[in-house]
Amino acid sequence: MPAQLPTVALIGAGSSGIAVAKALHERGVPFDCFEKSDRVGGNWVFGNSNAMSSAYRSLHINTSRKRMEYTDFPMPADYPDFPHHSQIAAYFASYVEHFGFRDRIRFETGVDHVERGEDGVYTLRTDTGETLRYDAVLVANGHHWDMRWPEPAFPGSDTTRIEQIHAHQYKDESQLDGRRVVVLGMGNSAMDIAVDASYHATETYLAARRGAWIIPKYMGSKPVDRGDQIFANPRIPFRIKQAALMLALRQQVGKMEDYGLPKPDHKFGEAHPTISGRILDRLAHGAITPKPNIAHLHEHEVEFADGTRVPADLVVYCTGYKISFPFFDEDFIAAPDNHIELFRRVFHPDHSDVAFCGLLQPLGAIMPLAEAQGQWLAAYLRGEYHLPARPEMLADIRADQEAMRKRYVSSKRHTVQVDFDEYLYALGKERKAGGERARLAGFALPVPARARAEQPTTA
């Protein structure tokens, strides 16, 4: 094994960053992890000092704990199937303590700028005024914090007297108390916030431009995403799984139209899953009134696409998030309209020394996938895995993008979708192939160690 490994800057210590940090720590890859916040856990830290968390007081996970936990660190046995955000944040903090790499994280240190020099070494500038140099940059800065407002803005949104916020700015029920609230969207934020509103607002309207299949958290008596069912088998073709789930949904939930919701214009699995154990109940109780898309915001009223109007005090736009890398120059790496082409959602085909972690939206939870990506990255940086040649990577990316385009409803929310079990299965195969490539190349380091001599690292 090579004596000197490349030095790594890892950006972010959310659930993805800590999974990478653990792998690098265990495999002896020298790294510094930069974290804006005073603690780990990212999105799951309610009221996070980084001001980037989109968590609200009532938030519970919607992927079950067994799907979400890291493979070698189970969640505490007394956790429920769908724990509260406070339990999830505590779990991530205990993961870092348990594996003993907290001292490798530089807290309250945001990365402001990263630039590749002519010598191939990256210069990184922090918001604490430091300038540091690294051989490789791993990005785990999260993709659910940069608000995507309706595009274009609704007519009247600049003159209305109705308050307008994004789901990211929704923190607790006090924002809804005694008000007439319109929630826009059919994703998971819209479901949770509409349910909160249904208990605290005087009127709750759920507006949508498209229907969604709402999946309950349980099917039978077990979490819907449990690993021992047909959907979790990567060898069964998607269309068969889709038909089986559609049948189960028809039996257990029925038609969305029967709850007053728009009929989905797609089948299950062709949009990011909307999971809610409570919204259908609140619709059935008449506590939430479904509406089509917003058409116009008047001074004190919201007008919908069907011409109906309701008085309103607050509109909550649950319209999703942008993928952003504010520390890269746009002509280096960017994700316009959430598009970024990466080999298996990790490696940039043009930059062998920049990689991403957790930049995916699984049908299933992100954490075990980030864990597998972390192990993959550690193997890569140690020369134990080699990437395919660039044309092969590009062909793989193109095939993947084409499959996503064919399967998913066209939307900026569907640019980094993966199926949990299929992704892990394919990654296992790719790691084997890349291990063989590395062996044939004599385990040469794909990223040379150049920066180390110039600065102390914590390895």
Residues that bind ligand NAP (CB under 6 A): 59-62, 144, 150-151, 167, 184-190, 192, 209-210, 271-272, 293, 318-321, 361, 409, 411, 413
Smallest separation, CB 95 to ligand FAD (Å): 12
Helices (H) and strands (E) in the chain, counts: 9, 25
Instruction: Compose the 10-29 pattern: x for residues touching ligand FAD by CB under 6 A, - for all others.
Output: -xxxxxxx------------
| 37 versus 319: smaller Cβ distance to ligand NAP | 319
Contacts of 239 (CB under 8 A, 6+ apart): none
Instruction: Decide if residue 61 touches ligand FAD (CB under 6 A).
Output: yes
Smallest separation, CB 206 to ligand FAD (Å): 17
140 binds, among ligand NAP, ligand FAD, none (CB under 5 to 8 A by kind): ligand FAD
Distance in angstroms (rounded) separating the CA atoms of residues 453 and 455: 6
| 37 versus 160: smaller Cβ distance to ligand FAD | 37
Of 343-382, binders to ligand FAD (CB under 6 A) are: 358, 365-366
Give me the long-range contacts of 145-150 (CB less than 8 A, separation at least 24): 145/43, 145/52, 145/53, 145/54, 145/321, 146/321, 146/322, 146/323, 146/324, 147/321, 147/322, 148/319, 148/320, 148/321, 148/322, 148/412, 149/317, 149/319, 150/184, 150/294, 150/317, 150/319
As to burial, measured by CB atoms within 10 angstroms (0-12 exposed, 13-18 middle, 19+ buried), residue 161 is: exposed
Smallest separation, CB 107 to ligand FAD (Å): 9
Instruction: Decide if residue 261 touches ligand FAD (CB under 6 A).
Output: no
11 binds, among ligand NAP, ligand FAD, none (CB under 5 to 8 A by kind): ligand FAD
| 34 versus 91: smaller Cβ distance to ligand FAD | 34
Distance in angstroms (rounded) separating the CA atoms of residues 373 and 385: 12
413 binds, among ligand NAP, ligand FAD, none (CB under 5 to 8 A by kind): ligand NAP
Q: What radius of gyration, in Å, describes the C-alpha atoms of the chain? A: 23
Q: Applying CB under 6 A, which of residues 42, 269, 368, 374 lies at the interface with ligand FAD?
A: 42
Distance in angstroms (rounded) separating the CA atoms of residues 197 and 173: 7
Smallest separation, CB 407 to ligand NAP (Å): 14
209 binds, among ligand NAP, ligand FAD, none (CB under 5 to 8 A by kind): ligand NAP
Distance in angstroms (rounded) separating the CA atoms of residues 443 and 138: 21
Distance in angstroms (rounded) separating the CA atoms of residues 146 and 166: 10
Report the interface residues with ligand FAD, using CB under 6 A. Answer: 11-17, 34-37, 42-44, 50, 52, 54-55, 59, 61-63, 68, 110-111, 140-142, 144-145, 189, 327, 358, 365-366
